[in-house]
Amino acid sequence: MPAKREFRGVRFLLFDIDDTLFPSSEFAKKARKNAIAAMLSAGLPADANSVSAALREIICKKGANNQEHFDLLCKKLKCKNPAKIIASAIRAYHDTKRQIAPYPRVSSLLAKLRKRGFVLCVATEGIAKKQWDKLIRLGLQDSFDSVFISEELGLNKSPNFYLRICRALGAKPSTCAMIGNHPVLDVLSSRKAGMVAIRVLKGKHQKEKCNSDFAVRNISEVGKLPILK
Amino acid sequence: MPAKREFRGVRFLLFDIDDTLFPSSEFAKKARKNAIAAMLSAGLPADANSVSAALREIICKKGANNQEHFDLLCKKLKCKNPAKIIASAIRAYHDTKRQIAPYPRVSSLLAKLRKRGFVLCVATEGIAKKQWDKLIRLGLQDSFDSVFISEELGLNKSPNFYLRICRALGAKPSTCAMIGNHPVLDVLSSRKAGMVAIRVLKGKHQKEKCNSDFAVRNISEVGKLPILK
């Protein structure tokens, strides 16, 4: 257990997007479920459980950002008429993802924090266009002063990623707080860079142990933390 | 002017999708207009007319199916923060294209023709997944007995494309009618293959001259043609 750290003068608040501003994992799960249902109803001769297992395997192997999950799935399942099945899946997937919404009270929290004088930034891992698409769909594209995305910085979320953001902001790390759900990318790395790490206990990593400076069950509680008063 | 051709025994009806089953050109135009509005409102420092001209040039050069229109546009306009602008454009574009709907009375026309004993097929030029996506969004994915797409056949719309379809259907060309809007791809090529060509006067080619066997202003009139009685 590291020594208790004391912070004064936090001025910059950095937010992750996925499972921090909105329930990304839940939506992804729902979108995949709906995509599989659409494939079966378009004539894929298989059962939901085996399709689901095959899809999980593909995502695990190719990564979540690969654009060909459903193409690979049809290939794996030796599907005849793959174009119809893939088009049905993509449609159902995107129709679900279109419905994304922020966690409760996120917009008002951001507005309140800005009013209190904090500089608000997004600091997120991912493909720039995809992350902007999420911000726009969440209606939060104008809620931040700056948006930092790993692809654009050419750096994955590491201490250097956070130090680069500090340079861009002209800020000392100790005046920055990173708010995110991921134990390594959001919490450990920002702490190593000298920032305050506020963990949001959401998403699939929420049960993992990790040393953060603060932890909240819901992002709306961030506004009540004493260091942000 | 060729000699008047006589047809008896048409049993197979082939339909194009774009500007035949739905107003594809109108939607594309509207989608591009909305995308440009979204880019400007996301902060692109330009005026709608010059952005529109630049986009037209890119589409003309790269083809309508290129996936990077907006990326190229931002590059051309030397846009800072392109990811936000591109994501805004893509969102607006797809939100408009999502709203596609068939021309009036298309569904009931297809149902009626099927009931009269015709075999209904789609015969379309394009990328298989994209064409299926349109059929699904139009709600017409189950209205046809077969779907033939140039990408899957490995043949662009030419007389051979239509002869290949005849082989697949076990049909003589003279028993097939092709219904589409394009003077060359739909009308001339199917005629050369020996089919009946029914021209739908829609889309940007509607004022071009071409010899079809029949011409209709609206697809719903196809049901009233004497050869389909």
pLDDT in tens, B26-38: 999 999 999 999 9
Domain of residue A156: give its range.
Answer: 12-22+101-228
A133–B87 CB contact, under 8 Å: yes
Q: Any CB–CB contact under 8 A between B4 and chain A?
A: no
Judgement on whether residues A220 and A116 belong to the same structural domain of the protein: yes
More confident site: B5 or A97: A97
More confident site: B229 or B129: B129
Q: Is residue B115 part of a domain?
A: yes
How far B175 CA sits from the closest chain A CA (Å)?
Answer: 26
Place of tokens 């490995």: B154
pLDDT score for A3: 53
* Mean per-residue pLDDT, B79-90: 92
- Which stretch of A145-159, B60-74, B212-226 has the lowest confidence by average pLDDT? B60-74
Distance CA A79, CA A85 (A): 8
Place of tokens 């719309």: B157
Is there a contact between B107 and B139 (Cβ–Cβ < 8 Å)? yes
State the CATH number of the domain containing residue B112. Answer: 3.40.50.1000
State the CATH number of the domain containing residue A38. Answer: 1.10.150.520
Considering only CB atoms, B133 lies closest to which of A91, A135, A152, namely A91
Q: Any CB–CB contact under 8 A between A154 and chain B?
A: no
Question: Does the pLDDT value for residue B81 go beyond 90?
Answer: no
How far B84 CA sits from the closest chain A CA (Å)?
Answer: 5
Judgement on whether residues A77 and A110 belong to the same structural domain of the protein: no
Considering only CB atoms, B129 lies closest to which of A87, A130, A131, namely A87
More confident site: B66 or B172: B172
pLDDT score for A1: 45
pLDDT score for A131: 96
For residue A147, give the H/E element and its range. Answer: strand A146-149
Q: Is residue B154 part of a domain?
A: yes
Q: Tell me which chain A residue has its CA closest to the CA of residue B83.
A: A129
Judgement on whether residues B120 and B165 belong to the same structural domain of the protein: yes
pLDDT score for B1: 45
Distance CA A73, CA A40 (A): 13
Judgement on whether residues A173 and A68 belong to the same structural domain of the protein: no
pLDDT score for A51: 94
Q: Is residue A117 part of a domain?
A: yes
Classify burial at A119, counting beta carbons within 10 Å of its beta carbon; exposed 0-12, middle 13-18, buried 19 or more. Answer: middle
Distance CA A187, CA A196 (A): 9
Judgement on whether residues A148 and A218 belong to the same structural domain of the protein: yes
A 49-108 near B (Cβ less than 8 A)? 83-84, 86-88, 90-91, 94
Averaged pLDDT, groups of 10, chain A, 229 residues long = 69 97 95 95 92 93 88 91 93 92 96 95 96 96 96 96 98 96 97 96 93 94 89
Judgement on whether residues A37 and A18 belong to the same structural domain of the protein: no
Judgement on whether residues A18 and A48 belong to the same structural domain of the protein: no
Judgement on whether residues A32 and A127 belong to the same structural domain of the protein: no
* Mean per-residue pLDDT, B112-117: 94
Reported confidence tier of residue B66, pLDDT bands at 50, 70, 90: confident
Percent residues over pLDDT 90 in chain B? 87
Q: Tell me which chain A residue has its CA closest to the CA of residue B38.
A: A136
pLDDT score for A5: 73
Q: Is residue B3 part of a domain?
A: no
Distance CA B136, CA A84 (A): 8
Two structure tokens written together for B211: 């010899």
Tell me how many residue pairs between chain A and chain B have CB atoms under 8 A apart: 57
A83–B137 CB contact, under 8 Å: no
User: Could you say which DSSP state residue A114 is in?
Assistant: H
* Mean per-residue pLDDT, B11-28: 96
More confident site: B213 or B8: B213
Judgement on whether residues A79 and A141 belong to the same structural domain of the protein: no
- How far from chain centre, in Å, is Cα B110? 17
* Mean per-residue pLDDT, B196-205: 95
Judgement on whether residues B106 and B92 belong to the same structural domain of the protein: no
Reported confidence tier of residue B2, pLDDT bands at 50, 70, 90: low
Q: HEC string of chain B?
A: CCCCCCCCCCCEEEECCECCCECHHHHHHHHHHHHHHHHHHCCCCCCHHHHHHHHHHHHHHHCCCCCCHHHHHHHHCCCCCHHHHHHHHHHHHHHHHCCCCCCCCHHHHHHHHHHCCCEEEEEECCCHHHHHHHHHHCCCCCCCCEEEEHHHHCCCCCHHHHHHHHHHHCCCHHHEEEEECCHHHHHHHHHHCCCEEEEECCCCCCCCCCCCCEEECCHHHHHHCHHHC
Q: Is residue A182 part of a domain?
A: yes
For residue A141, give the H/E element and its range. Answer: none
A84–B149 CB contact, under 8 Å: no
Judgement on whether residues B35 and B114 belong to the same structural domain of the protein: no
Q: Last residue of a domain, which of A81, A97, A113?
A: A97
Q: Report ipTM for this prediction.
A: 0.83
Q: Is residue A83 part of a domain?
A: yes
Q: Is residue A62 part of a domain?
A: yes
Which of B85, B127, B136, B150 is the mutation pick for testing A, counting most A CBs within 10 A?
B136
Question: Does the pLDDT value for residue B210 go beyond 80?
Answer: yes
A 30-49 near B (Cβ less than 8 A)? 42
Classify burial at A49, counting beta carbons within 10 Å of its beta carbon; exposed 0-12, middle 13-18, buried 19 or more. Answer: exposed
Is there a contact between A147 and A121 (Cβ–Cβ < 8 Å)? yes
Reported confidence tier of residue B7, pLDDT bands at 50, 70, 90: confident
Greatest C-alpha distance within chain A: 63
Two structure tokens written together for B90: 């893509």
Q: Last residue of a domain, which of B76, B97, B118?
A: B97
Q: Last residue of a domain, which of B45, B64, B97?
A: B97
Task: Give the residue from A108, A101, A109 showing the smallest Cα distance to A221.
Answer: A109
Q: Which residues in chain B have their CB less than 8 angstroms from residue A130's CB? A: 87
Q: Is residue B55 part of a domain?
A: yes
Two structure tokens written together for B197: 């060509």
Judgement on whether residues B66 and B156 belong to the same structural domain of the protein: no
Number of domains in chain A: 2
